[in-house]
Amino acid sequence: MRIQAIRGVKDILPNEIEKWQWVENTAHTVFARYGFKEIRPPVFEKTQLFSRGIGETTDIVEKEMYTFEDRSGEKVTLRPEGTASVVRAFIEHKMYATQPLLKLYYLGPMFRYERPQAGRFRQFYQIGVEAMGSHNPAIDTEVMIMLMDFFQTLGLVGLKLQLNSLGCSKCRPEYREVLRNSIRHHLSDLCDNCNQRYEKNPLRVLDCKVERDQEIAAELPKTADHLCSECKGHFSEVQSLLDSTNIPYNLNHQLVRGLDYYTHTTFEVTSAELGAQNAICGGGRYNTLVEEFEGPPTPCFGFALGLERLISVIPFDKTGKIGKRPDVFVLCLGEEAQKYGFQLTHKLRTNGFSVERDYDGGSMKSQMRKANKLACQFALIVGENEMKSGKYQLKDMSDGSQIEVSAEACAEEIKEQLKKTV
């Protein structure tokens, strides 16, 4: 019986992995510019962490988590998102004592049992950012600016920043009741999920993806009209700071996100390349989550994005940055040259070059074909004559030109020739 991958997961093959590595390396570079440092939480946690942190009424907790009992009988869950784990680590290791504002990011696999579709998998990879320790609206803005900087570096265009405020513990309860009373008149026209959400968390009705329900949601009371003075001031400052940096955005009063811990600013970045399910990133402020886990009062702001969806919209053919070509193909002619080529290849690699070679002892023509197929920049030709004379032939694979290089100065000459190709 042939065993295949489980539905909803995929292999990332060598011909794709360079794209992933480039995106990840770009994240490391851009985030470091803004003072963020990487954290790597475990891939499974106690189930309570997610049910308590994400919210009992969310689709993630109710329907999508991979939960099981370990041998000790403890319920554990493969992480469906990263924020709860970061908060747990933040408290457990007393990271709040190290500095007033902690800037963290993570990347790695997440797990949700949902219906596989384009850009959505049961094991998926996520990049997340958490700024922990400040309620200043400048933090909200700076994190969103960093995100747009990251996207611009990746070559993305046509993105839209969607913005809303969900209020706080003071003003949200009143808004929930106003919203609930308004929804009551539309229950017969709303989908079954929305009828359930109406009872448990009416804000989630605003987030429904059913077209008819979206039309109804557009006419419901807006969060922005029911904010307290503190929330209004915070949201106004966020918009003002975005305006000062010429970052375009749209106010989206139906934007509530799918996690219960969000307060104040919430946002999404959408791409026209993705159709109806067009969000490639979302996040917002969560000022009470650390306290809910018995940590000190710690206002936070963050986001998460799925790598699969992100990679699907990057114009890799236009970046010109993907897939580093091997520097040199060591072309060995004859049995003795093959043995000599082994040592030569090793020497070049220890000098920092990316080197490929032939292992089958093929003809000059067949080895040249391999060098071309691998898109090597240069071929270093070594045969019996070259071994005797101590002089190799270095061929530029792009234009066919060829020069003679000495064995002693081979590495230096290759370096000089590579500089000309940059």
For 14-171+227-319, the fitting CATH number among 3.40.190.10, 3.20.20.70, 3.30.930.10, 1.50.10.20 is 3.30.930.10
Report helix, strand or coil for 249: coil
pLDDT digits 0-9 by tens, 218-230: 878 888 888 999 9
Beginning with the edge strand found earlier in the chain, give each strand of the sheet holding 159-165 in spatial order: 37-38, 102-111, 123-132, 300-306, 279-285, 263-271, 159-165, 250-251
Class of the CATH domain delimited by 328-421: alpha beta
pLDDT digits 0-9 by tens, 321-376: 566 788 999 999 988 888 888 888 999 998 899 999 988 878 889 999 999 988 89
Same topology for domains 14-171+227-319 and 328-421, yes or no? no
pLDDT at 216: 80
Two tokens, residue 25: 């390396």
**Which whole number is the average pLDDT over 54-72?**
80
Residue 347 has phi, psi (to 5 degrees) of: -60, -45
pLDDT at 291: 92
Report helix, strand or coil for 137: helix
pLDDT digits 0-9 by tens, 18-57: 899 999 999 999 999 999 999 999 999 999 888 877 776 6
CA atoms of 357 and 377, how far apart (whole Å): 13
Q: State the maximum Cα–Cα separation within the chain, in Å, rounded to a whole number.
A: 93
Lowest mean pLDDT among 50-54, 266-270, 394-398: 50-54
pLDDT digits 0-9 by tens, 136-176: 999 999 999 999 999 999 999 889 999 999 888 888 888 88
Domain ranges of the chain: 14-171+227-319, 328-421
- This prediction has a pTM of 0.81
